């Protein structure tokens, strides 16, 4: 035989053997896969399901924004004075009630000492008046007047009762006359007690306890007024914030034409955002808006639309919008980037399913539906979707259908399952 023909024949046999070996491997692997699939289908798997249901879906659209100061606080002393100490400068961070600066209070403290002497003098005069004995007769006269008033009230009540009985023929004329005499006597005693008290008060005159007490009260009021002025020489920050301007210097008189210190109020910030005209119909002043601050660990806050510009910005060709936010904890600062989430689209009375129940393979969306305790893998079309639910556009899915919500990777068409929830 030709050597070349023999060599060719050997090559052919090798190829045939390789093909046969490959076919045998394929048959074995196919059989294994088929057996495993059969085992998988025969094995009952535990699943958790959710239900397709009718509901609403609303979507949002995010716009970039920036935090800025909403309010500046201008601070000046209640009365001009010489600056004694200055504790801040432009750029200083301050907390509420921190001391910003103080005024010289030397003259006020001297006035306070003089006024305190007036208080001491008024108290001494009050004690002297009380110890002079003029108060005791007045107190006795007041007590006598109160007793006379009680006796008169009793006599009047008794007379009215007996007169009613006499008119009805149930009391004697002698009893009525006796009651009338007691009433006249008690009335005269009451008038005499009142006249006695009035005379005593006239005799005591300006040195009375009441006048002395009024003098003490007036002196103490003067002391409180001066102390309040002294307290006002210590000027504190009414808010937590950052000092943006300082217009005073130690040793100088505080200005009257401009604020001494200006503070940026960090508790009241705004988020500034530019919106296209198609979004203006979807927002209004007073509306609540969700805001995320990425640089503050994605902190989520709620703001309120405060102002919508009437005119478009010529540079951005959008409408500037201001959203008020609260930053009482001090974690937010001017200049921080913000993400403004605004309502965009909404559909009502549509069939929806949680997003985690949808499995996407090669661009096709599938649901694993439990029918008669078996898995049906159904391809679907989807519509509107947000971060929680998705609209289902498929006549194969109905409201109330049990849809597997977890472990979709390990399920196949026809698997037997048991619903756990």
Task: State residue 420's pLDDT score.
Answer: 86
Residue 183 belongs to some domain of the structure: no
Residue 28 belongs to some domain of the structure: no
The least confident of 23-32, 217-226, 279-288, 292-301 is: 23-32
Token pair, residue 29, equals 């692997």
Q: Do both 50 and 89 map to the same domain?
A: no
Task: State residue 371's pLDDT score.
Answer: 93
44-47 and 416-419 as β-strands: parallel, antiparallel, unpaired?
parallel
Task: State residue 326's pLDDT score.
Answer: 80
Q: Look at residue 98 and give its three-state secondary structure.
A: coil
Task: State residue 364's pLDDT score.
Answer: 94
For residue 9, give the DSSP letter: H
Q: Do both 298 and 334 map to the same domain?
A: yes
Residue of 56 and 204 predicted with greater confidence: 56
Residues 6+ apart with CB under 8 A from 118: 219, 222, 223
On average, the pLDDT of the chain sits at: 87
Could you give the number of structural domains in the chain? 3
Q: Do both 336 and 407 map to the same domain?
A: no
The least confident of 139-148, 291-300, 308-317, 325-334 is: 325-334
Spatial contact of 171 and 165, defined as CB atoms under 8 Å apart = yes
Residues of the chain above pLDDT 90, percent: 46
Q: Do both 241 and 98 map to the same domain?
A: yes
- Interior angle at CA 106, CA 101 and CA 109, nearest 5: 110
Residue 37 has pLDDT above 60, yes or no: no
Q: Do both 334 and 352 map to the same domain?
A: no
Residue 180 belongs to some domain of the structure: no
CA gap 144, 156 in Å, rounded = 18
Domain at 361, CATH number: 2.40.420.20
Token pair, residue 137, equals 């007769």
CA gap 401, 385 in Å, rounded = 19
Last residue of a domain, one of 344, 361, 380: 344
Q: Do both 335 and 354 map to the same domain?
A: no
Over residues 50-61, mean pLDDT:
92
Task: State residue 36's pLDDT score.
Answer: 56
Domain at 98, CATH number: 2.40.50.100
Residue 39 belongs to some domain of the structure: no
User: DSSP letters of 172-233?
Assistant: -HHHHHHHHHHHHHHHHHHHHHHHHHHHHHHHHGGGSHHHHHHHHHHHHHHHHHHHHHHHHT
Residue 40 has pLDDT above 60, yes or no: no
Q: Do both 362 and 329 map to the same domain?
A: no
Domain span at 245:
77-104+233-258
Domain at 278, CATH number: 2.40.30.170
When pLDDT is cut at 50, 70 and 90, the band that residue 248 belongs to is: very high
Token pair, residue 206, equals 């300006």
Spatial contact of 318 and 283, defined as CB atoms under 8 Å apart = no
Residues 6+ apart with CB under 8 A from 67: 269, 270, 271, 272, 293, 325, 332, 333, 334, 335, 336, 338
The least confident of 184-193, 297-306, 348-357, 392-401 is: 184-193
């Amino acid at each position: 035989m030709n050597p070349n023909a023999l060599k060719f024949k050997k090559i052919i046999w090798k190829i045939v053997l390789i093909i046969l070996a490959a076919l045998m491997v394929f048959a074995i692997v196919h059989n294994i896969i088929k057996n495993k699939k059969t085992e998988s289908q025969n094995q009952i798997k535990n699943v958790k399901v959710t239900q397709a249901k009718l509901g609403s879906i609303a979507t949002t659209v995010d716009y970039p924004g920036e935090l800025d100061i909403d309010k500046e606080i201008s601070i000046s002393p209640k009365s001009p004075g010489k600056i004694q100490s200055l504790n801040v400068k432009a750029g200083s961070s301050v907390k509420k009630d921190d001391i910003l600066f103080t005024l010289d209070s030397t003259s006020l403290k001297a006035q306070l000492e003089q006024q305190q002497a007036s208080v001491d003098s008024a108290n001494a005069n009050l004690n002297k008046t009380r110890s002079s004995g003029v108060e005791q007769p007045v107190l006795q006269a007041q007590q006598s007047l109160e007793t006379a008033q009680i006796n008169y009230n009793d006599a009047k009540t008794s007379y009215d009762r007996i007169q009613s009985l006499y008119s009805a023929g149930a009391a004697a004329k002698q009893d009525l006359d006796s009651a009338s005499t007691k009433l006249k006597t008690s009335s005269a005693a009451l008038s005499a007690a009142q006249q006695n008290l009035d005379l005593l008060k006239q005799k005591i005159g300006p040195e009375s306890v009441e006048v002395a007490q009024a003098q003490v009260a007036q002196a103490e009021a003067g002391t409180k007024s001066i102390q309040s002025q002294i307290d006002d020489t210590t000027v504190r920050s009414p808010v937590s914030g950052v000092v943006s301007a300082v217009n005073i210097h130690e040793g100088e008189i505080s200005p009257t034409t401009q604020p001494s210190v200006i503070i940026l109020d960090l508790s009241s910030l705004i988020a500034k955002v530019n919106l296209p005209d198609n979004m203006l119909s979807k927002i209004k002043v007073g509306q609540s808006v969700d805001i995320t601050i990425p640089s503050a660990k994605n902190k989520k806050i709620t703001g309120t639309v405060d102002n919508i510009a009437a005119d478009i910005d010529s540079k951005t060709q959008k409408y500037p919008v201001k959203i008020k936010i609260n930053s009482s904890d001090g974690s937010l600062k001017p200049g921080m980037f913000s993400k403004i989430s605004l309502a965009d689209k909404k559909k009502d009375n549509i069939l929806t399913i949680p997003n985690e129940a949808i499995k996407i393979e090669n661009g096709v969306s599938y649901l694993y539906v439990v029918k008669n305790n078996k898995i049906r893998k159904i391809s679907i079309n989807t519509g509107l979707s947000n971060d929680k639910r998705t609209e289902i556009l498929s006549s194969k899915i109905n409201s109330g259908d049990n849809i597997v919500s977890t472990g979709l990777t390990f399920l196949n068409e026809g698997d037997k399952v048991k619903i756990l929830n």
